[in-house]
């Protein structure tokens, strides 16, 4: 089976005895309450999703990631995973001290052993990470909204405090056990933020022709009004897998993380995450993690080429759609017909139909998937 990124699958979850020992002194520590996105990062560090990271990045790793897309060790890594704190907390802690970490509801979840406290050049970081300093870019806005100081250091997570969300919430260690059980040597990963439509099914099955198994991972993170609910995405995929995939060919699991909207950098990041789950291949979208017109269609491919081998093979596919003349789902590469013969899987169109309780045409979405979604009380996130 493929090695995790950096060769070792990180596990920062400590034993019950050690957890209780640290909990007994927790009230004496300066503490930080994580928001939902930072909670995702903490959990992903703890269970190895972000291997080889063992904690939140210190100054040297942060600067290397921003400028060179590597950690200080030289291992490829494209996005900063940082813990931001306000001036008050930064003034009260020093390197060498321990800080307590709480979930958003206040429950203690673990600790950080602080090894650095630092500021950063906001404009330079935005320009390097997102290719722009435009405040209309959601990634730029998110970075600018952070507190002025970052705290770096390795984490320890209490053994019984990491949140789990149902059967599809599996760790890299658990995924690797499943892949071994299914006797999969090669696995392709697919990430999505939407309910399944026929074009994505086509991409997944095209990749599945060449590997042993498929890992489908909806990104379950911060939502905005109008986004599909987690239940709509997961139950839609459950229906698709049950009705249209061979038994034992697909694993469906969640990837709990925010969107960075970092385009090519995020494509590399997402591929590294799937490598840690045990994937040997990863499907990279034409405008992967893009937003607006900030990134070109093939920038992700160029960045993969520039970085070199990250230990997982990116798969690039052309845009897929239904062609009336071909009478099936095809791609730009294999369809010779004019665009007036094409039915594109427009996200806006599908959302509009589902919001009106309409079943989209079978050329765009499997009827079983649509009917499953429409039985839900909440298909879209509301205000």
Is the residue at 299 inside a domain?
no
Is the residue at 313 inside a domain?
no
Please spell the DSSP secondary structure of 280-310, one letter per residue. Answer: SEEEEPTTTT--TTSS-TTHHHHHHHHH---
**% residues pLDDT > 90 (the chain):** 84
Please check whether residues 179 and 125 belong to one and the same domain: no
pLDDT higher than 80, residue 38 = yes
- Give the catalytic positions in this structure: 192-194
Out of 96, 125, 157, pick the residue that ends a domain: 157
pLDDT higher than 90, residue 235 = yes
Q: pLDDT-based confidence at 187, cuts 50/70/90?
A: very high
Residue 355: how many other CB atoms lie within 10 Å: 11
Tens digits of per-residue pLDDT, 304-313? 888 878 999 9
What is the rounded distance in angstroms from the CA atom of residue 249 to the CA atom of residue 184? 9
Please check whether residues 107 and 177 belong to one and the same domain: no
3-state helix, strand, coil in the chain (%, to 5): 35, 20, 45
Out of 97, 131, 157, pick the residue that ends a domain: 157
pLDDT of the residue at 243? 98
Please check whether residues 121 and 237 belong to one and the same domain: no
Is the residue at 368 inside a domain?
yes
Tens digits of per-residue pLDDT, 124-169? 999 999 999 999 999 999 999 999 999 999 999 999 888 888 889 9
pTM: 0.95
pLDDT of the residue at 309? 82
What is the rounded distance in angstroms from the CA atom of residue 343 to the CA atom of residue 363? 8
Q: What value does the mean pLDDT take over residues 13-19?
A: 96
Please check whether residues 149 and 178 belong to one and the same domain: no
Please check whether residues 354 and 242 belong to one and the same domain: yes
**% residues pLDDT > 70 (the chain):** 99
CATH of the domain at 139: 3.10.400.10
Is the residue at 327 inside a domain?
yes
Please check whether residues 136 and 178 belong to one and the same domain: no
Which structural domain, as residue segments, surrounds residue 60? Answer: 16-157
pLDDT of the residue at 225? 83
Is the residue at 107 inside a domain?
yes
Tens digits of per-residue pLDDT, 48-74? 999 999 999 999 999 999 999 999 999
Mean confidence (pLDDT) of the chain: 94
Out of 92, 126, 157, pick the residue that ends a domain: 157
Is the residue at 298 inside a domain?
no
Domain total in the chain: 2
pLDDT of the residue at 176? 98
Please check whether residues 108 and 33 belong to one and the same domain: yes
Is the residue at 124 inside a domain?
yes
Q: What value does the mean pLDDT take over residues 180-192?
A: 97
pLDDT higher than 90, residue 326 = yes
Residue 218: how many other CB atoms lie within 10 Å: 25
pLDDT of the residue at 120? 92
pLDDT higher than 90, residue 298 = no
Please check whether residues 53 and 113 belong to one and the same domain: yes
Please check whether residues 249 and 139 belong to one and the same domain: no
Residues in the chain: 383
pLDDT of the residue at 355? 94
pLDDT of the residue at 300? 83
Is the residue at 112 inside a domain?
yes
Please check whether residues 78 and 187 belong to one and the same domain: no
CATH of the domain at 207: 3.40.50.620
Please check whether residues 184 and 324 belong to one and the same domain: yes
Tens digits of per-residue pLDDT, 69-110? 999 999 999 999 999 999 999 999 999 999 999 999 999 999
Please check whether residues 197 and 325 belong to one and the same domain: yes
């Amino acid at each position: 089976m493929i090695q995790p990124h950096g060769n070792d699958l990180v596990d920062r979850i400590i034993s019950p005895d050690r957890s209780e020992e640290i909990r007994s002194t927790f009230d004496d520590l300066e503490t930080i309450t994580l928001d939902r996105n930072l909670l995702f990062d903490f959990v992903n560090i703890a269970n190895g999703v972000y291997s080889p990271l063992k904690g939140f990045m210190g100054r040297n790793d942060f600067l290397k990631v921003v400028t060179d897309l590597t950690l200080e060790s030289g291992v490829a890594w494209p996005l900063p995973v940082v813990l931001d704190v306000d001036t008050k907390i930064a003034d009260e802690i020093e390197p060498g001290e321990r800080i307590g970490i709480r979930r958003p509801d206040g429950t203690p979840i673990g600790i950080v052993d602080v090894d650095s406290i630092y500021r950063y050049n906001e404009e330079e970081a935005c320009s390097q990470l997102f290719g722009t300093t435009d405040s209309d870019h959601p990634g730029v806005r998110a970075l600018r909204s952070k507190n002025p100081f970052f705290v770096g250091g390795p984490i320890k997570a209490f053994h019984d405090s990491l949140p789990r969300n149902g059967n599809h919430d599996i760790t890299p260690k658990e995924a690797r056990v499943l892949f071994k059980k299914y006797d999969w040597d090669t696995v392709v990963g697919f990430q999505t933020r939407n309910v399944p439509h026929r074009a994505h099914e086509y991409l997944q099955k095209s990749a599945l022709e060449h590997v042993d198994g498929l890992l489908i991972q909806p990104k379950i993170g911060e939502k905005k009004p109008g986004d599909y609910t987690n239940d709509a995405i997961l139950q839609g995929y459950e229906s698709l897998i049950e009705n249209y995939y061979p038994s034992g060919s697909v694993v469906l699991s969640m990837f709990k993380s925010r969107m960075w909207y970092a385009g090519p950098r995020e494509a590399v990041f997402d591929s590294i995450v799937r490598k840690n789950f045990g994937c040997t291949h990863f499907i990279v979208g034409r405008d992967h993690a893009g937003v607006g017109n900030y990134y070109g269609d093939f920038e992700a491919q160029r960045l993969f080429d520039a970085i070199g081998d990250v230990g997982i093979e990116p798969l690039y596919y052309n845009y897929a759609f239904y062609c009336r003349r071909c009478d099936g789902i095809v791609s730009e590469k294999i369809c010779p017909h004019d665009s007036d013969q094409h039915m594109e899987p427009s996200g806006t169109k599908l959302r509009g139909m589902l919001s009106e309780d309409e079943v989209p045409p079978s050329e765009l979405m499997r009827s079983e998937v649509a009917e499953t979604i429409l039985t839900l009380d909440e298909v879209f996130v509301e205000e």
